[in-house]
Structure 1
Amino acid sequence: MPLPKMPTKPAALLSPKDYPKAEKGKSVKTDKPEPKLVAVPQQPLATKPAAKIASPVVAKLPAAPSRAKTPAVKAEKPVASKAKSAESRVKSGTSRAADKSGVTKLFVLDTNVLMHDPSSLFRFEEHDVYLPMITLEELDDHKKGMSEVARNARQVSRSLDALVGDIDHHEIEQGIALSKLGNKDAKGHLYFQTKLQTASLPAGLPQGKADNQILTVVRALEADQPGRPVVLVSKDINMRIKARALGLPAEDYFNDHVLEDSDLLYSGIVQLPEDFWNKHGKGVETWQENKNGLSTTFYRITGPLIPSLLVNQFVYLEPNNGEASFYGQVRQINGKTAVLQTLRDYGHAKHSVWGITSRNREQNFALNLLMDPECDFVTLLGQAGTGKTLLALAAGLAQVLETKTYNEIIVTRVTVPVGEDIGFLPGTEEEKMSPWMGAFDDNLEVLNKSDNDAGDWGRAATQDLIRSRIKIKSLNFMRGRTFVNKFLIIDEAQNLTPKQVKTLVTRAGPGTKIICLGNIAQIDTPYLTEGSSGLTYVVDRFKGWAHSGHVTLARGERSRLADHASEIL
């Protein structure tokens, strides 16, 4: 159909004459009569241009403030999300799950969790804790005796008795607030199994076994509370495997873990960057002090590395361009400034300790800590053959027999066998402990042979003198004791629990120095790992204290055979 003529002005009405007629032989198909056809397009032509002209003018007025507000709203959202993510990093994994879903979890505790950590009832933050009746039965079976497990079982029983002491049966069924005893971090409730829980397990599982009864309780709780996560917590690996095989969620007890990865453990040593003095040498203050007849140099420095340093941490710089190396120790940290002290070189023969000189950098750091009278607590970690026991004994003998700083050396260790137990040992306390102290006897023999000028008679007299000043004590009889002016060596400390380490360290009286030795890669105590060992616990908690120090010995010095075996086996 031909188009009509163009209108002369906006919103002008077109007459029927303006539409050209169709050619002959060609029909123009229209659905409506011609007058109505003209009237229909007239209204849109009159209204649409007016709407198009008016709408941009009206829309521009509110558009400007809306665009101005939009960036402000977008800028606030990332700030809120960052703050929320920072809070979630502080909380545990269970707390994050509760924050997202809004539903707290119900943790069913195995007996070994309670016997491993008596305070585990109060370690689950806002989540609830459920104790099956068989768990209480097993606690009752293990409460007798003087072992650590028996003590923990009795402590759990006392805590449970304090929680349920003054409430009735109805309140027990409703749940007991775990914050009742003053544990403010425990915001959940404690539930007991007050009725028989029945659930279907595979027919091959013995129903009378305690582990299977706990699994039955977990399955029944899942059925009773379908909208709530029910998780079994156990230190038994096979128990967790069995639970997962049955489709039940199970977790290890991680609250006692100081670190998830042992590689993140504080080493006590930091290597300085090659441009350290360029960035930290401006305005450096230097002075010397005379301590114990030796001149020591101090440096007061400022720079970007200072916030990452800790007191008594060792620093070193070994340039590749042939310049002199620097070995120091952080003595003070005041805001943005730190005081570094140069070290005594125990690798030189004139500075030998009971005839022993350091063979590598880490051993020199360790001897500086062991011979420092201001350092009351020292921890030494390292693989077999790094010289932990030898250095500690040499430093102890030098400070007991030569400088008279301490009265005697006390040696103790955990009596955990590597293989099968050989049974009871006869004799006194020291005679019973002597088979466990073979490592000290070997090192004493090395130290006794270091004096070549004494002769056989002189070495025998020295050995008798040394034996008279070294006392071997059992760990089982340490509770309640106080050691004054003693040099206490705790060997194989990686087999201690955090509670046992606390018991030993709190025995220290005035003038006592405690040295903890161990290798966290050789843990023989059941349920202890590298992250939950007492040695890892004290290394992490004591770092940065002005009267403690730690060194991780890296290089083995026992023999080339021992070093090669440590690498390949």
Structure 2
Amino acid sequence: MPLPKLPTKPATLLLAKDYPQASGANPVPFPETAAAPKKTARGAKAAAVSEPALAPAASPAAAPIMAEATAPAAKKTARKGAVASVPPVAEVAAAKPASKPVTYPAPAAPAAAPVEAKAPRGKVTPIKAEAPQQPKHKMGEVNKSSTSRHADEAGVTKLFVLDTNVLMHDPTSLFRFEEHDVYLPMMTLEELDNHKKGMSEVARNARQVSRTLDALVANTDDDAIEEGILLSKLGNKDAKGRLFFQTKLQIADLPEGLPQGKADNQILAVVRSLEGEQEGRAVVLVSKDINMRIKARALGLPAEDYFNDHVLEDTDLLYSGIVQLPDDFWNKHGKDMESWSENKNGQSTTYYRVTGPFVPSLLVNQFVYLEPNNGEASFYGQVKQLNGKTAVLRVLRDFSHNKNNVWGVTARNREQNFALNLLMDPECDFVTLLGQAGTGKTLLALASGLAQVLETKLYNEIIVTRVTVPVGEDIGFLPGTEEEKMGPWMGAFDDNLEVLNKSDNDAGEWGRAATQDLIRSRIKIKSLNFMRGRTFVNKFLIIDEAQNLTPKQMKTLVTRAGPGTKILCLGNIAQIDTPYLTEGSSGLTYVVDRFKGWSHSGHVTLARGERSRLADHASDVL
């Protein structure tokens, strides 16, 4: 029998209708409680509204569930002491005669949900699985494995189709694809012929490629051209592939929106046709044109950029010329340490010979420093010799002290001190200085040059040059001689010369004017366009804004050095103005990576700006 409904208010008597009866059982008479006091019409109406509707009686199956559900509620109410004691049934029956029993129909049992028949255990119905279909090649899909520069697992080499701009960018690109084959469409040869005239670097590269192709096809019959010409024919042992020319019309379907007469679209049609002919072999388009690579990928053709001219993929890995020694360096390397002093040019220099596990990671002319936090003295040195795990370190000269100033200029930070040690070293023939705007590259170079030309007379004169690439729009031709034409480009040197002239306060106005005339007579400004074929002897050559030079132009300038000449390359690879030149392919990045470790060259990356607080903040936030 289900439990009665719980009272909702304290001291409320349960009525007979609150005791539902089980279905199918004989009705048991329940006595009714005493009549409640009469209420007014308004009170009766309010009571009728507030009294909840009675729920139908639960089935026998639901009775245990209701009992379990009501038991916690009863316990919770009993804890609060809100339920009054209910009088026994016998007392209620004696108070009022019994009335007719009230029965409630039991609710219909819910229909049982259909149960899915299960297969008998031990028997598994075999399911025939269809083989997965290989996805078909769709427009816009590019096989990523085809863009790798290495052969696949089966040893099948790739076929690289070269765009014209790759050959004009690097004339030796034909021999940069290792064991893979190279394919030249006929339109590529036509564009080479169109760009061969002129005195620009692009025209010179086009003519060089034409001469290389002529040497490859010389003494070659038609069958050899069809089968491919060995790229190692001219002595390039790294090139193990073959060179193929387009000898027949390649027909391929391209979208109707692409003009068929455009050169780029014809090369794309050749790549699409080769994909159909070279089944099982990757055909990759190599182009420096970004838009052409985008169109190729939109058509589902593999395309990639030409990266062989990049020195580094990440410029953060560029050699900085400075390394910090570990805190326990002297404990691990000072056991058999030797030290001695040498006098050169009236100055005493201290040397240390150390041996330990950290030495093999160093390079010659690399700067090392140790700044302990325990109050010990700092150490600033330069690697002069390396022999296995043994290195000779030279203690640096402190150019931050006023007694060691260079033309009135002293080092303001650690990196500037390293740079002045390189610039004032007569054994160092090639110096590169990298750094953001305001780090003092030009000022340090001019000060060291004037000191070694006018004071020590180590060099005859200072030659300044730079590439004439404007930041914005070109203002046109400039009048005057070569030096007058280069005058507007040398505004940075004029500003630094003015600072250096003001550093001599004891000379007076007439003395500074005479010094300025003397300085002007020893500084020559030369154009980069007239450097080929020249030889500089005992010159202090400064190449400003060297980040705008290509590796080939940088090679042309560095090879101009004669006996007793020192070359300085200054620049910031974050401010490249030359089109089609990036941080990884810049000539300045090229020489920094190639000259590291040479005993007569050095490099320093200046990190801290010293121009002004405004310039430093602008370099950080802009």
- The answer to whether TM tops 0.5 is yes
- Structure 1 runs of 4+ aligned residues shifted over 2 Å read 93-97
Match of 1:389 in 2: 442
Match of 2:58 in 1: none
Query: Does 2:590 align with 1:541?
Result: no
Mapping 1:256-267, distance limit 5 Å: 256-267=309-320
Please list the CA deviations of residues 340-387 of structure 1 after superposition, one character each: whole Å capped at 9, or x if unmatched. Answer: 000011111111111111110000000000000000000000111111
AA aligned to 2:439 is T
- Compute the displacement of 1:424 (Å): 1.7
Match of 1:218 in 2: 271
Match of 2:159 in 1: 106
Q: 1:495 & 1:296 partners in 2: Cα distance? A: 38
Q: 1:96 & 1:115 partners in 2: Cα distance? A: 21
Name which of 356, 359, 362 aligns with 1:306: 359
Name which of 306, 315, 334 aligns with 2:368: 315
> How many matched pairs?
477
Query: Does 2:244 align with 1:244?
Result: no
Name which of 181, 185, 191 aligns with 2:234: 181
Q: 1:421 & 1:191 partners in 2: Cα distance? A: 42
Q: Residue 434 and residue 161 in structure 1: after superposition, are their counterparts in 2 closer, same or farther (change >3 A)?
A: same
Name which of 400, 406, 424 aligns with 2:477: 424
Q: 1:394 & 1:478 partners in 2: Cα distance? A: 24
Name which of 518, 523, 540 aligns with 1:465: 518
- Compute the displacement of 1:426 (Å): 1.7
- Compute the displacement of 1:448 (Å): 1.3
Residue pair 2:147, 2:304 contacting (<8 A) in 1 also: no
Mapping 1:322-361, distance limit 5 Å: 322-361=375-414
Q: Residue 159 and residue 298 in structure 1: after superposition, are their counterparts in 2 closer, same or farther (change >3 A)?
A: same
Q: 1:180 & 1:264 partners in 2: Cα distance? A: 36
Match of 2:256 in 1: 203
Q: 2:154 & 2:513 partners in 1: Cα distance? A: 73
Q: 1:161 & 1:223 partners in 2: Cα distance? A: 30
Q: 1:168 & 1:361 partners in 2: Cα distance? A: 65
Query: Does 2:419 align with 1:362?
Result: no
Match of 1:9 in 2: none
- Compute the displacement of 1:96 (Å): 6.5
Q: 1:196 & 1:429 partners in 2: Cα distance? A: 52
Please list the CA deviations of residues 371-420 of structure 1 after superposition, one character each: whole Å capped at 9, or x if unmatched. Answer: 00000000000111111111111111110111000000111111111112
AA aligned to 1:511 is G
Residue pair 1:95, 1:126 contacting (<8 A) in 2 also: no
AA aligned to 2:434 is L
Match of 1:27 in 2: none
Match of 1:403 in 2: 456
- Compute the displacement of 1:99 (Å): 4.9
Match of 2:86 in 1: none
AA aligned to 2:238 is D
Please list the CA deviations of residues 501-554 of structure 1 after superposition, one character each: whole Å capped at 9, or x if unmatched. Answer: 111111110000000111111111222211111111111111111000000000
Q: 1:202 & 1:435 partners in 2: Cα distance? A: 51
Greater alpha carbon shift after TM alignment, 508-517 vs 202-211: 202-211
Residue pair 1:492, 1:517 contacting (<8 A) in 2 also: yes
Q: Give secondary structure in 1 for the equivalent of 2:150.
A: helix
Please list the CA deviations of residues 248-270 of structure 1 after superposition, one character each: whole Å capped at 9, or x if unmatched. Answer: 11111111111110011000000
Q: 1:518 & 1:215 partners in 2: Cα distance? A: 39
Residue pair 1:485, 1:509 contacting (<8 A) in 2 also: yes
Mapping 1:463-502, distance limit 5 Å: 463-502=516-555
AA aligned to 1:499 is K
AA aligned to 2:308 is N
AA aligned to 1:323 is E
Q: TM-score, normalised by structure 2?
A: 0.75
Please list the CA deviations of residues 446-476 of structure 1 after superposition, one character each: whole Å capped at 9, or x if unmatched. Answer: 1111111112221111111111111111111
Name which of 506, 518, 526 aligns with 2:559: 506
Q: 2:496 & 2:249 partners in 1: Cα distance? A: 60
Match of 1:379 in 2: 432
Q: Give secondary structure in 2 for the equivalent of 1:490.
A: strand
Q: 1:491 & 1:219 partners in 2: Cα distance? A: 46
Q: TM-score, normalised by structure 1?
A: 0.82
Name which of 571, 574, 578 aligns with 1:525: 578
AA aligned to 2:342 is E
AA aligned to 2:371 is E
AA aligned to 2:276 is A
Residue pair 1:222, 1:230 contacting (<8 A) in 2 also: yes
- Compute the displacement of 1:153 (Å): 0.9
Q: Which runs of 5+ in 2 are unaligned?
A: 1-145
Please list the CA deviations of residues 26-51 of structure 1 after superposition, one character each: whole Å capped at 9, or x if unmatched. Answer: xxxxxxxxxxxxxxxxxxxxxxxxxx
Query: Does 2:219 align with 1:169?
Result: no
Please list the CA deviations of residues 41-82 of structure 1 after superposition, one character each: whole Å capped at 9, or x if unmatched. Answer: xxxxxxxxxxxxxxxxxxxxxxxxxxxxxxxxxxxxxxxxxx
Match of 2:180 in 1: 127
Q: Give secondary structure in 1 for the equivalent of 2:619.
A: helix
Q: 1:452 & 1:480 partners in 2: Cα distance? A: 43
Residue pair 1:499, 1:534 contacting (<8 A) in 2 also: yes
Query: Does 2:195 align with 1:142?
Result: yes
Q: 2:613 & 2:259 partners in 1: Cα distance? A: 53
Residue pair 2:161, 2:284 contacting (<8 A) in 1 also: yes
Q: 1:481 & 1:515 partners in 2: Cα distance? A: 17
Q: 2:420 & 2:278 partners in 1: Cα distance? A: 60
Residue pair 1:95, 1:125 contacting (<8 A) in 2 also: no
Q: 1:305 & 1:138 partners in 2: Cα distance? A: 54
Residue pair 2:147, 2:303 contacting (<8 A) in 1 also: no
Q: 1:268 & 1:178 partners in 2: Cα distance? A: 38
Q: Residue 94 and residue 247 in structure 1: after superposition, are their counterparts in 2 closer, same or farther (change >3 A)?
A: closer
- Compute the displacement of 1:168 (Å): 2.3
Name which of 200, 209, 231 aligns with 2:284: 231
AA aligned to 2:427 is E
Match of 2:205 in 1: 152
AA aligned to 2:400 is G
- Compute the displacement of 1:125 (Å): 0.6
Greater alpha carbon shift after TM alignment, 454-463 vs 485-494: 454-463
Greater alpha carbon shift after TM alignment, 444-453 vs 340-349: 444-453
Mapping 1:20-31, distance limit 5 Å: none
AA aligned to 1:181 is L
Match of 1:255 in 2: 308
AA aligned to 1:353 is V
- Compute the displacement of 1:435 (Å): 1.4
Q: 1:224 & 1:422 partners in 2: Cα distance? A: 52
Please list the CA deviations of residues 152-188 of structure 1 after superposition, one character each: whole Å capped at 9, or x if unmatched. Answer: 1111111011111221233212211111111010111
Q: 2:380 & 2:494 partners in 1: Cα distance? A: 33
Match of 1:446 in 2: 499
Query: Does 2:345 align with 1:292?
Result: yes
Q: 1:485 & 1:96 partners in 2: Cα distance? A: 46
Q: 1:542 & 1:286 partners in 2: Cα distance? A: 29
- Compute the displacement of 1:101 (Å): 3.2
Q: 2:579 & 2:412 partners in 1: Cα distance? A: 35
AA aligned to 2:196 is K
Question: Percent identity over the alignment?
Answer: 88
